[in-house]
Chain A
């Protein structure tokens, strides 16, 4: 059976959830082979977890230069691997960097690319949800192998133990791979909360939250539920919450099990970023707010009363 390459995303020695989802998907397409692209030593702490989700091989393409330069070295290393491994497909997380790697790889291999895929069938047919969640598209790569980026939270990761062999891959970079130099990486505090695009539960605040200070009631509810905090564009533009947490057309697309929209009217641009959530709950004082049209459960009321009361009630029930 041909290998299916899964490009591993990790943070601080931990495999990101989207990678486990892609390994699960890869098992239905062929033999999952994980590809770690990073500085020397990146792969070692990830191998056990990758094996737990069915990776039969781990390719470790490790070089200090991969870390020191933006995107291009990863695409070069991956292109070299594709040429030698002749995989049946390449799966990459549909994150900013994932899409960028995919774009470069497409040019290098003169291969079609599909992004934000939520399903990939064995025959290469990919499903995408576009136009603010309103339209389902079935597409196929017609030139080259299926090269797709997979939207986080599109499927449930399931373990299937394997004992991967680790293969070091030599990385040969061109000068043009080293043009953009990363001089600093800064993590902005999100506390112990899960990453927004990977979280199973997201609690988002909008204009109705009314101040940066008042976002603490959103954070409190999110923490009680073990969720991430998001914000509408109105809230980030008003400076209530950092832009990195914006959900919507010009921010992150999230697809959690539960999305709680607090003080968010539900403009189409916001819906674009959360419409594929499994369950949607809304709290808004305006009974006519469009968010209620797609909410499975809605409370019409003052969020300053409803949200703290909900937090208090969750505490009580523990």
Chain B
């Protein structure tokens, strides 16, 4: 089975994140840039499928030069190779444009299965897997907490607001996973050393046959007009419980008309 895993480099969600004042894009220079957490679960799931069914696992990333760090980190977990879509004209690309580029890159790899995280910690849009399925004509099995593969038939348990759904499809398909699906492995020392020698194929927009004016600032279908820091919440009243803490809590709820 040929598997492509989508990996996005994002600013660490555990630290302060900012938008740039000049062009309203994510400030990557001042951020600690890491693999989108949910993508690690996608990589793990791909590796488990490879261990069970054979085949190859390729990491696909679109991003600037520094995304190389995340690609090597992803490869250190065990995938065989990576494709890095890198082009200056990509700066300013929105979700619609990103799906255009990734769809072209996926087509070139002609995988049986694409696995991604269910959402990225920066945009939290959850739109990419279905956008790609729409462009590629793949089945989309999204929001999975469990994935089983029998031959070319896939079955997922999809998390929903009310519980879960069981959804099936044949390959080629795109599956997105939540962090409930597995426990990602830590890269071994051997894995980290091996990752340095694994092939990373850099593709430009021209290589993928995507016109530069369909992506980047020129091709964006949305624009950020302005941004500002939300005033931080200020701490209110804090009382130490000396036997009547529960009553004090209800007094407060009552004063705010919740009780």
State the A residues within 8 Å of B (CB): 11, 70-72, 75, 95-97, 99-104, 106-108, 110-116, 125, 129-144, 176, 179-188, 195-197, 201, 225, 243-244, 249-250, 253, 257-258, 267-269, 272, 275, 279-281, 283, 287, 292-302, 305-314, 317
A186 touches B125 (CB 8 A): no
A305 touches B241 (CB 8 A): yes
CA distance A220 to B125 in the complex (A): 34
CA distance A134 to B170 in the complex (A): 42
CA distance A226 to B56 in the complex (A): 51
A106 touches B95 (CB 8 A): yes
B241 touches A299 (CB 8 A): yes
Select B131's contact among A103, A185, A283, A307, beta carbons within 8 Å: A103
A135 touches B220 (CB 8 A): no
**Could you say which residues of chain B place their CB within 8 Å of the CB of A295?**
235-236, 238
A281 touches B249 (CB 8 A): yes
Select A112's contact among B126, B135, B165, B220, beta carbons within 8 Å: B220
A313 touches B180 (CB 8 A): no
Known: A107-B96, A132-B13, A188-B163. A313 touches B134 (CB 8 A): no
Select A310's contact among B17, B125, B247, beta carbons within 8 Å: B247
How many chain B residues touch A (Cβ–Cβ < 8 Å)? 88
A112 touches B227 (CB 8 A): no
State the B residues within 8 Å of A (CB): 13-19, 24, 37-38, 94-96, 99, 118, 121-131, 133-135, 137-143, 145, 158-170, 173, 178-180, 220-230, 232-233, 235-241, 243-250, 252-254, 256, 258-259
CA distance A309 to B241 in the complex (A): 11
B169 touches A188 (CB 8 A): no
Select B127's contact among A102, A272, A301, A308, beta carbons within 8 Å: A102
Min C-beta distance of A250 to chain B, whole Å: 5
Min C-beta distance of A51 to chain B, whole Å: 25
**Could you say which residues of chain B place their CB within 8 Å of the CB of A102?**
127
**Could you say which residues of chain A place their CB within 8 Å of the CB of B19?**
135, 137
B167 touches A139 (CB 8 A): no
A112 touches B249 (CB 8 A): no
- CB nearest neighbor in B for A308: B246
CA distance A227 to B120 in the complex (A): 29
In the complex, the 10 A-B pairs of residues with the closest C-beta atoms, listed nearest first: A301-B241, A309-B246, A112-B221, A103-B127, A179-B139, A143-B221, A188-B163, A310-B246, A296-B236, A112-B222
* Chain B interface, >50% SS class: mixed
**Could you say which residues of chain A place their CB within 8 Å of the CB of B159?**
96, 243-244
A139 touches B178 (CB 8 A): no
- CB nearest neighbor in A for B224: A139
With contacts defined as CB atoms under 8 Å apart, how many contacts are there between chain A and chain B in the complex? 289
- CB nearest neighbor in A for B241: A301
Min C-beta distance of B95 to chain A, whole Å: 6
A139 touches B238 (CB 8 A): no
CA distance A124 to B256 in the complex (A): 35
Min C-beta distance of A42 to chain B, whole Å: 16
**Could you say which residues of chain A place their CB within 8 Å of the CB of B243?**
305
Known A-B contacts: A100-B130, A136-B227. Give 10 more (CB < 8 A). Answer: A70-B142, A96-B118, A96-B142, A137-B227, A181-B169, A186-B163, A253-B124, A279-B258, A297-B237, A309-B247
CA distance A113 to B250 in the complex (A): 43
CA distance A308 to B247 in the complex (A): 10
**Could you say which residues of chain B place their CB within 8 Å of the CB of A180?**
139-141, 167-169, 173
CA distance A104 to B126 in the complex (A): 11
A201 touches B258 (CB 8 A): yes
Known: A107-B134, A179-B138, A243-B159. A140 touches B230 (CB 8 A): no
**Could you say which residues of chain A place their CB within 8 Å of the CB of B225?**
125, 138-140
Identify the interface centre among A272, A283, A299, A307: most chain B CB within 10 Å of its CB.
A299
A306 touches B13 (CB 8 A): no
**Could you say which residues of chain B place their CB within 8 Å of the CB of A103?**
95, 99, 125-131, 134
A317 touches B163 (CB 8 A): no
CA distance A133 to B127 in the complex (A): 20
**Could you say which residues of chain A place their CB within 8 Å of the CB of B94?**
112
**Could you say which residues of chain A place their CB within 8 Å of the CB of B145?**
243
CA distance A294 to B38 in the complex (A): 27
A96 touches B160 (CB 8 A): yes
**Could you say which residues of chain B place their CB within 8 Å of the CB of A138?**
224-227
